[in-house]
Amino acid sequence: MQATAFRAGQLSIETKSGTILDRMVEARRGAVEHRKRVLPEAALRLGVLKGTPVRDFSATLARNAVNIIAELKKASPSRGVIREAFDPPGLAADLEASGAAALSVLTEEEHFQGSLKDLRDARKAVKLPVLRKDFIFDPWQVWETRANDADSFLLIVAILNDAQLRDLLELGRGLGMEALVEVHTNKELRRAVDAGARIIGVNNRDLKTLEVRMDTSYELVEAIPDECIAVSESGLRTNDDLKKLREAGFDAFLIGEQLMQSPDPAAALRLLLRTGAARSA
């Protein structure tokens, strides 16, 4: 495939070689281009007008509490299928009842076996705000996100240039959504702050290698402005992990595999919030 002018910082995301992240985003771009031909933006705008009111994702994460964004994820590139019995509305309701502050739902089909239907079904089952987690790089996807009733969406700094990051943040706000802006390095964090991000997620998993390193959160948290909501993502396993990260300055925690691999995700969440390590499958 011939590379186009679209760049993600220094990373060309249209390439048949390169990192795991390159390949996942390349595949996503093809899927998005197909969907754009089938469903024009005008139809999405109509869907937004008919949609449900946005739930306040930012306010939920800013509470003085252990705010866990519980993630519904059937599979991942690093683990394959994580949860065979994947019931988004049932999981969502159980996690809400067990103390989740918000939900995150994977909607990428090829590598995570997710869907927008999973997001809609999960959101209908709860009163919590719901984040759409996907590779989002096109304004059309932001319209698609709100048309499917999501309350927030993920922006990964590593796959966006500065103009795209600002434009997507602004469009989301125009639709009532505040994005979770994900970083992995100091350079990405500076770019997120410069773009005006208000919710900054530090991903302990390097998306280019899929390796998890918890020190990433501790190394970056001091550089997150006080006015921003700080979220630690990936590799969080125990109540002690959450306690230490709260003391370091994090406001919220995105946890997926640790819950989804448990025989009882709701019980695992309750244990994380209260008394110790969550069970593993």
Which helix (DSSP H) or strand (DSSP E) does residue 104 occupy?
Answer: strand 102-106
| Cβ–Cβ < 8 Å for 181, 197 | yes
From the CB of residue 248, how many other CB atoms can be counted at a distance below 10 Å? 13
| SS3 (DSSP) at 74 | coil
**Of the candidates 64, 63, 60, 49, the residue with the CA atom closest to the CA atom of residue 178:** 60
The yes-or-no answer on residue 124 being catalytic is: no
Q: Is 71 a residue of the active site?
A: yes
133 is catalytic: yes
Query: Residue 55: how many CA atoms within 13 Å on its side-chain side?
Result: 19
Angle (CA) 36 39 44, round 5° = 105
- Among candidate residues 203, 204, 232, 262, the one labeled active-site is 203
Dihedral-angle region of residue 56 (phi above 0 means left; psi in -120 to 50 means alpha; beta otherwise): beta
Residue in 71, 108, 178, 188 annotated catalytic: 71
Residues in Cβ contact with 156 at an 8 Å cutoff, skipping those fewer than 6 apart: 135, 136, 182, 207
Active-site hit among 14, 96, 144, 233: 233
Chain-centroid distance, C-alpha 229: 14
Q: How many CA atoms lie within 13 A of 211 on its CB side?
A: 5
Cα 168 to Cα 90: distance, rounded to the nearest angstrom: 32
* Catalytic residue chosen out of the listed positions 14, 73, 108, 257: 73
Among 67, 204, 234, 262, the one annotated catalytic: 234
Which positions ≥6 away from 252 have C-beta within 8 Å? Answer: 61, 67, 68, 69, 101, 102, 229, 230, 231, 232
Residue 50 annotated in active site: no
Q: Which of 96, 108, 178, 182 is catalytic?
A: 182
Is 74 labeled as catalytic in the residue annotation? no
| Residues noted as catalytic | 71, 73, 133, 182, 203, 233-234
